[in-house]
Structure 1
């Protein structure tokens, strides 16, 4: 196909000649990174990104076991759940914006800003003297953490050649998983020790500061030309406003539904409906109004991007649901304390880290991306389905082996999603595509935790009623507090625990179906033909991926 050169006037009034075929349509060269850096810079940037990613992922879950202590010390038992919700809302809402921000202002500037916001808000969180102060600090912290999460994948995509990204994306997956699982364990340790819950925040401040210094001196990725004022004008203001509003409204509805308010209440229904309508407005704005959209609609013309986004949603659905509900399973079914329950995730984490690194090295060596995606999702579906056989009498060894099987499946699955996205879109869409894909994974996690909670409550109540009668009072037996459950008389506790087994089985079954749906899309993924990308003339349709 022939190339067409056109002249484009940038926001700073400079005119440059652009090869439309090479710039707008051509996929990345598989053997060359978009940005070439020295070995020292590469190691320093990667080290800084991993520390930032670890810190942001850790603080996403570290307060899970510390919330009761925080609420007690700050004398506020009504609003303490917002300490976790505020971080989740802002970190999810900001992720789609991260890509376009880095395209306009440059990768380095956005990473530094995000790290600075994250560092300051983390310190403020540690020194908080009231619940409102802590909630606000956590909301700001979520903004920094959400941008960091997206930027790690984007920058790795810049400085690593496409064919060599496997091990590094595997490293990202391992860091994210380990930090997310270690969070509740570390939080529980600090809460129970003389250090106190404030060290849940202070512990990450030094690492964030070191990473910030490394980024400042070592990250030398060129930014787009233009003055600061011109770049501000390039921002997709209406897009940012509509997507942020839509996501926040939807997440509030999902968070409050079934807990703070009934699902059928006017509050929840209005939040979900208006959030959905706002997202429709966002799509119209991006398609018809924005000159430089934060979520370019042409991304959705790339089949691999669409399929990978659906797979990312299902993987996030499973991942976040397991992080919260596997420890709960061991607390309720086997009477584990908080620390023991957190450690029960180690088989998943260790297996995931191992399979991420091995599959990454294999992909980098042989370029076999699609088989790992299909095999990983197939094994993940099967291993989750096998959890249905577990009950209160199951061997801990068998349970841990099944969890390790889940981890082995998650490793290659999580990294190949990002590889397919970054290997299928044009270079100029790499940041936006990566940020949107990360957003879908996080959004899937929100839906997963919410749906797991709803299914668990509903199935437990029906199972308990079938065992103890329809008129049984759930005031004492319907609590998810393990201490309350195991303080019940044996004749009551046994049917309660058995009812929870039924509830968890329904959770695993639904999760298996959702992941199985994602598996179907891995079968439709188009292979990443690196040779055709390196030599477009070798095939008649070079942009088929």
Structure 2
């Protein structure tokens, strides 16, 4: 018997301190992911670089590529040591970003940051699964999403205000004390069970070949997406070759996991159910919409509304501060009703309508309209963000929760890459055709350099200023309509789900270390 009913797991002060430590970690990663977008124009201008898309892509690449590997490490060495290592890696990456003297330096630091952030988010979900059964997990997922929402909402304002004052480096340096606080809480309170097998036996369970395949394939896809339409055309060999090789590599990875390895990173059983497959697909599509809006919405306010970085962050509150409370409410609804399909259908409908309405905005639209449209999308995304766990985990035994959640987080972060890079590609390709030729002539390097002028649009002479604002608004309208189409695909995918009961137990091989000690004491008393 490897499972036990969670009713024996007390929700005492130690338990809530663990939840608090995980929430701080989630807050840390959320601030970092969302803060850079509003500060990016100033950063690009200051470092005199033209590879702005890679600032986001490098972070999301790092936060995705090693997630399956980190999930395997957590199974072998235990949760706490892997989480502490991830926080330390994130801290080092933040220091490197703050000290950056060039765009390439910054991109390298962002990659290191991403490695730490991706492992952190995966471990948070795995640890919650160790402590709370799926039937009761809605509210706890909601708490983590609330922490993410607080960080995601404050991040753009923090990044924008520091950038406006010429102190964008402190956007990264501030992560260091927060990382230390997170590490302190994790060290003190996160005392979990860990396997006692010898090290050489642990290493035998690592799928080194599978990890190498997925890292190489993910990197190849990101390179293709980042170059597409910006450095090279979509039809060029420089774009098609890494994209095709990367996608074939991901397919090959799944084949290898299914047939050729004794200890797979992603057991094929995780994808054998149409309900689980639908959940993974919806998680991926929601991640694309979320990252695109989180990263590129501020461009609308800065380029079309003369907003500074700080004001652009505040203008995004309509999105960020509807996602987080909706996440918590949705988790409670699923926990109370034990139904996840109906909320997800409703969420996709709201996202379709909200993105389509964003697609009607131009440079002269009122801010209040944009706030309202953001709120519709935010409510829909909040619902999907929390409820997508249930169709993924309901079909698999609790012993498979860790690999299932690692793959779930991998797909969510992989979607962030697609959102940031596709958003940048759509925007830049549209600007090529929409910006006035007299304006483009000032930037022979292409529209990557034109992005640098966003902070200066308000100072352009008329009628050039209105022409540039109109070009940005029209380009963003295309992007929002693309997101409406992606949301529609999410709704279609959700129709494949079945209603399945939610687990009421957790895997007894994991969980709190002090509970193991109490169990031993109880056995001794009984004897």
Report the TM-score, using the length of structure 1 for normalisation.
0.83
Aligned to 1:384: 355
* Bigger mean CA offset, 61-70 vs 495-504: 61-70
Q: Are 2:278 and 2:391, in contact at CA under 8 Å, matched by a contact in 1?
A: no
CA distance in structure 2 between the aligned counterparts of 1:437 and 1:488, rounded to whole angstroms: 46
- For 2:49 and 2:417, locate their aligned partners in 1 and report how far apart those are by CA, in whole Å: 23
> Is 1:32 the equivalent of 2:6?
yes
Q: CA shift at 1:130, angstroms? A: 6.7
Q: Deviations over 1:306-355 (max 9, x none)?
A: 10111111111111111122111122222212211111110112222222
Question: What residue in structure 1 maps to residue 162 of structure 2?
Answer: 190
Question: Which shows bigger deviation, 37-46 or 455-464?
Answer: 455-464
Asked if the contact 1:37/1:159 (under 8 Å) is kept, the reply is no
Instruction: Show the counterpart of 2:381.
Output: 410
**Alpha-carbon distance in structure 1 between the residues aligned to 2:352 and 2:141:** 22
1:310 — aligned with what?
A: 281
The Cα of 1:514 is off from its aligned counterpart by 0.8
Whether 1:144 aligns to 2:110 is no
Please say if residues 170 and 412 of structure 1, whose CA atoms lie closer than 8 Å, have aligned partners that are also in contact.
no
* Paired residue secondary structure (1:389): coil
**Corresponding position: 1:59 with 2:32:** yes
Superposition deviation, residue 78 in structure 1: 5.9
Mapped partners of 2:10, 2:16: distance in 1: 10
Residue 490 of structure 1 aligns to a residue in which SS?
coil
Within 2, Cα distance between the matches of 1:515 and 1:188? 29
User: How many matched pairs?
Assistant: 499
> Aligned partners of 2:68, 2:475: CA distance in 1, in Å?
34
Preserved CA contact (<8 Å) 1:52 1:148 = yes
Q: Does 1:158 align with 2:124?
A: no
- The answer to whether the 8 Å contact 2:53/2:226 transfers is no
Partner of 1:43: 16
Residue 111 of structure 2 is aligned to residue 111 of structure 1: no
Give CA deviations for 1:461-506 in whole Å, capped at 9, x if unaligned.
4456xxx7xx877335963433454444433443443343332222
- Pair 453,351 (structure 1): closer, same or farther in 2 beyond 3 Å: same
Distance 2:109 2:296 in 1: 27
Find 1:244's aligned residue among 215, 220, 227: 215
Q: Which residue pairs with 1:539 in the alignment?
A: none
Partner of 2:197: 226
Q: 1:265 to 1:331 in 2, by over 3 A?
A: same
- Report whether the alignment pairs 1:215 with 2:181: no
**Partner deviation per Cα, 1:494-537 (whole Å, 9 max, x = no partner):** 34433433322222221111111111222221113249x78xxx
Aligned partner (choices 224, 227, 235) of residue 253 of structure 1 = 224
Q: How does 1:69-468 map to 2 (within 5 A)?
A: 77=49, 82-127=54-99, 134-193=106-165, 196-462=167-433
Distance 1:502 1:370, change over 3 A: same
Determine which of 477, 480, 484 is the counterpart of 1:512: 484
Query: Contact conserved, 2:308 with 2:455, CA < 8 A, in 1?
Result: no
CA distance in 2, matches of 1:82, 1:386: 29
CA distance in 1, matches of 2:187, 2:143: 22
Aligned to 2:520: none
What do residues 431-484 of structure 1 show as CA deviations (whole Å, max 9, x unaligned)?
Answer: 1111111222222222223223333334444456xxx7xx87733596343345
Q: Deviations over 1:179-216 (max 9, x none)?
A: 2343232123223347x333222322223222222222
* Structure number with higher relative contact order (C-alpha < 8 Å, ≥ 6 residues apart): 2
Distance 1:521 1:262 in 2: 31
What is residue 541 of structure 1 aligned with on the other side? none
Query: What stretches of structure 2 of length at least 5 have no aligned partner?
Result: 506-527
- Residue number in structure 2 paired with 1:542: none
Contact conserved, 1:318 with 1:515, CA < 8 A, in 2? Answer: yes
TM superposition score normalised by structure 2: 0.86
Q: Unaligned stretches of 5+ in structure 1? A: 1-18, 535-545
CA contact (8 A) 2:18 2:190 kept: yes
The 3 A distance-change label for structure 1 pair 126 and 424 is: same
Label 1:83 to 1:451 Cα distance change in 2 as closer, same or farther (>3 A): closer
Q: How much has 1:51 moved relative to structure 2?
A: 0.9
In the alignment, is the contact (CA less than 8 A) between 1:356 and 1:411 conserved in 2? yes
- In the alignment, the residues of structure 2 paired with residue 458 and residue 494 of structure 1 have an alpha-carbon distance, to the nearest angstrom, of 20
Post-superposition CA distance 1:254-292 (Å, at most 9, x none): 112222333333322222122223223322321222111
Shift of 1:84: 4.1
**Distance verdict in 2 for CA 1:76–1:509, change over 3 Å:** closer
SS of the aligned residue for 2:359 comes to: helix
Describe the shift of the 1:174–1:244 C-alpha distance in structure 2 as closer, same or farther (beyond 3 A). same
- The answer (yes or no) to whether the contact 1:32–1:160 under 8 Å persists in 2 is yes
Task: Pick which of 146-155 and 492-501 moved more.
Answer: 492-501
1:120–1:451: structure 2 CA closer, same or farther, 3 Å change rule? closer
Out of 473-482 and 389-398, give the one that drifted further. Answer: 473-482
Structure 1 pair 528–507 and aligned structure 2 pair: CA distance change class (3 A): same
Cα distance in structure 2, aligned partners of 1:337 and 1:69: 10
Does the C-alpha gap of structure 1 residues 436 and 219 become closer, same or farther in structure 2, counting only changes over 3 Å?
A: same
Q: Which residue of 2 aligns with 1:474?
A: 440
Query: Which residue does the alignment assign to 2:522?
Result: none
Residue 32 of structure 1 contacts residue 162 of structure 1 at CA under 8 Å; is this kept in 2? Answer: no
* Most deviating of 396-405 and 179-188: 179-188
| Range 133-142 or range 101-110, more displaced | 133-142
Is the 2:394–2:501 Cα contact (8 Å) retained in structure 1? no
Query: What root-mean-square deviation, in Å, do the aligned CA atoms of Structure 1 and Structure 2 show?
Result: 2.8
